[in-house]
Chain A
Amino acid sequence: MSVSEGTASTGVVDKLLTINGWAVYLFLYVPILIVMIFSFSDHPNVGIWGGFTLDWYDRMLGNDQLMRALRNSVIVAIVSTIVSTILGTAAAIALERYRRWLGKRPFDALLYLPVIIPDVTMAVMLLIWFAQLDFRFGLTTILLSHIAFNISFVAIVVRARLANMDESLEEAAADLYAGRWQTFRKVTLPLIWPGVVGGALLALTLSLDDVVITSLVQGPGATTLPVYVFGLIRRSVTPEINAVSTVMLVASMVLVFMSLGFQRRAETRE
């Protein structure tokens, strides 16, 4: 009875929801698609279509500064992802699997803070600290900063996985005389692996995404791709930026599908 009563209004509501849904998708995708389309436009003005060309991609590949920035980005992203994934996973295990230890509560809070403070404040904090330590600003300071914000994100993702995991499996392994390291390698790690990979992919994306923190702790001649592109956009808008943007968009789409594919494989295995 309640169903038939509700159908009239539900029909209208559902129609409105559907309209809103497609409008949001248009809003999300039209700007990205236009950037991609105009990266192939043979006209120096980004708003005018001038026929198909691959010139802007050619110019992008020939831009030494841009290529150096890209190389820096890849190095920083990979190294900071590896380090923060190891540290973050260990932190998650310590918090989820060891009930009481000295300084656990402050550590829990310390781990959350980098996630909840705005980029700008974190950038300022690190800038002041590196200047105080008299560090030379460059790839090292960028790398140290990226690890600092990535540890927390990895730890949160891995913790969510650990919280849903049955602890008795690890206890069973211990009962069967598996050593601590053996238990970790043969039982814990395979079980939390999807979480570890998810955390690592998040760290990789955040590192490749960061503009604010990097632009404050970068050094002369050592910058990352997004910061370099940010500088280009501030000066003038050219279709070459569209070409770089398209490459970056496609790269993040590949990452999304990789992580989804991985998750699906992990789920079917379970």
Chain B
Amino acid sequence: MTQLAEYEKVEVNPELEEKAEKEKARRGLFTALPAYVYLIAFFAIPLVLVFVFSFASRSRTGTPVLADWNLESWARLFDPLVAGLAWRSLWLAVVNTLLCLLIGYPFAYWIATRQRSSTRNLLLVLVLIPFWSNFLVRTYAWRTLLDVDGFVTQFGEATGLWGQLLFTLPAVFIGLLYGYLPFMVLPLFAAIERIDWNLVEAARDLYASGSDAFRRVTLPLSRPGIVAGSILVFIPSLGAYVTPDILGGPNTTLIGEYIVTQFGAARNWPFGAAVSSAILIVMLIATIYYFRSGGRTL
């Protein structure tokens, strides 16, 4: 009897257990601390500061003044010019995401369903190279193609289909599609390759047609890839700066470029901060929706 009691005492010692747990918690925080402090100093505080600045005012020379707090910058977001820019950027980002999905899905599916793994690997490496290549350089490549003497322009003029596209909206579209297509293909490939094809076969055995099996089995199973790819394309498309700057013209300004102008030539920091804050809010809503709808990782 006493022996048993003693045995139990050794087995469960809540005090010791609690101490170990506390020690572990302390070590967890300690391990994360350098990154934690760094991200608070160079991410969290700047993030809050942008919101603060969006309510600030400007001196006569254009320097931001952290006094006379007002809603002027936020009100200007509804100015037809700004709203038009924002609408164009949003529309462009949505269409670009859909285009990438439309071209990227059959492409990723094709790579993922090749029989031999060596073929699959080779095809994948050929996607990885543009994925890792410098974005600016890849955008620049289109600048030369779309210029007066460029191949695309000459081909268009010879066939009478199009003239010079550089500095127009179609050029920005081509640039965005070209720039972000690999970002769509890689997560799609990862998701499609993981699919258990026995499930598709089972659907076919149960007399589902090819398109039915695709729509009701393959497509839902590749959903994580679709969502991850769409986020990876949509976010940078919405904030695009390099592409419209190099390939676009005065009539194709997008919101990303517009923000930068506010911190450069226009010298209106509070307004630039307000536009940035608005974009941040849109992004946060989109991300929260993504995690709510069952997404886990990017």
Q: Do A31 and B136 have beta carbons less than 8 Å apart?
A: no
Q: Which stretch, A62-70, A148-156, A189-197, touches the partner chain B?
A: A148-156
Q: Do A124 and B149 have beta carbons less than 8 Å apart?
A: no
Question: B7 interface residue, CB < 8 Å from A?
Answer: no
Question: Considering the chains assembled together, what is the distance between the CA atoms of A145 and B201 in angstroms?
Answer: 50
Q: How many residues of B contact A (CB 8 A)?
A: 85
Question: A87 contacts which chain B residues (CB < 8 A)?
Answer: 34-35, 38
Q: Do A32 and B242 have beta carbons less than 8 Å apart?
A: no
Q: Which stretch, B69-77, B79-87, B138-146, B216-224, touches the partner chain A?
A: B138-146
Q: Do B181 and A216 have beta carbons less than 8 Å apart?
A: no
Question: A2 contacts which chain B residues (CB < 8 A)?
Answer: 201, 204-205
Question: A113 contacts which chain B residues (CB < 8 A)?
Answer: 43, 47
Q: How large is the interface on A (under 10, 10 to 19, 20 to 34, 35 or more residues)?
A: 35 or more
How far does the Cβ of B148 sit from chain A's closest Cβ, in whole Å? Answer: 7
Q: Do A120 and B245 have beta carbons less than 8 Å apart?
A: no
Question: A151 contacts which chain B residues (CB < 8 A)?
Answer: 35, 38-39
Contact of A124 among B21, B32, B130, B259 (CB under 8 A): B259
How far does the Cβ of B62 sit from chain A's closest Cβ, in whole Å? Answer: 13
Identity of the chain A residue whose Cβ is nearest the Cβ of B185 in the assembled complex: A24
Q: Which of B21, B43, B47, B103 has the most CB of A within 10 A?
A: B43
Q: Do B210 and A6 have beta carbons less than 8 Å apart?
A: yes
Question: B163 interface residue, CB < 8 Å from A?
Answer: no
Question: Considering the chains assembled together, what is the distance between the CA atoms of A29 and B235 in angstroms?
Answer: 24
Question: A97 contacts which chain B residues (CB < 8 A)?
Answer: 28
Q: Do B231 and A101 have beta carbons less than 8 Å apart?
A: no
Question: A116 interface residue, CB < 8 Å from B?
Answer: yes
Q: Do B276 and A125 have beta carbons less than 8 Å apart?
A: yes
Question: B204 contacts which chain A residues (CB < 8 A)?
Answer: 2, 6
Q: Do B133 and A101 have beta carbons less than 8 Å apart?
A: no
Identity of the chain A residue whose Cβ is nearest the Cβ of B231 in the assembled complex: A116
Q: Which stretch, A52-60, A165-173, A252-260, touches the partner chain B?
A: A252-260
Question: B98 interface residue, CB < 8 Å from A?
Answer: no
Question: B143 contacts which chain A residues (CB < 8 A)?
Answer: 233, 237
Question: A119 contacts which chain B residues (CB < 8 A)?
Answer: 236, 239, 241, 256
**A-B pairs with beta carbons under 8 Å apart, 16 shown:** A29-B130, A32-B133, A47-B144, A48-B149, A87-B35, A94-B29, A103-B36, A110-B44, A119-B256, A124-B50, A128-B269, A151-B38, A212-B241, A229-B136, A230-B242, A249-B133
Binding site for A on B (CB under 8 A): 21, 24-29, 31-32, 34-36, 38-40, 42-47, 49-50, 53, 103, 106-107, 109-111, 123, 125-130, 132-138, 140-145, 147-151, 178, 181-182, 201, 204-205, 210, 231, 235-236, 238-239, 241-242, 245-246, 256, 259-260, 263, 269, 272-273, 276, 279-280, 283, 287, 297-298
- Besides A21-B110, A34-B151, A90-B32, 5 more A-B contacts (Cβ < 8 Å) are A24-B103, A32-B137, A47-B148, A110-B39, A229-B137
